[in-house]
Amino acid sequence: MKRIIFTLSLIFTNTLTLWAQDKIEVFPTVPYDRFIIFHTLAIFWIAIIGLIIIIRMKLKEIERIQKMGIDKEEKDIPLLD
């Protein structure tokens, strides 16, 4: 019985959108505006990929420095007093 009620409520909620009279535009209909949106999205994703590449390069540089041992203090270095 619960399954039937759930199925009927699901069908009813899906058909509610068909009864709506005004269709709301969510994407611009002018081709120039679409071009601007796609252009901006392309630049955004290129920037995100670029940031990921820069972070990966910095992490590899940090690993290389740690392997060389440059970041460790050496105890036998003479100090200028």
Tens digits of residue pLDDT in 1-31: 778 887 878 777 767 667 666 777 777 788 8
Q: Per-residue confidence at 81, pLDDT binned at 50, 70, 90?
A: low
CA distance linking residue 38 with residue 25, whole number of Å: 17
pLDDT at residue 20, rounded to an integer: 64
Torsion over CA of 43, 45, 47 and 48, rounded to 10 degrees? 160
Torsions phi, psi of 44, nearest 5?
-60, -50
Q: Where are the domains of the chain?
A: 29-70
Q: How far apart are CA 77 and CA 34, in angstroms?
A: 64
Find the farthest-apart pair of alpha carbons in the chain and give their distance in angstroms, rounded.
Answer: 88
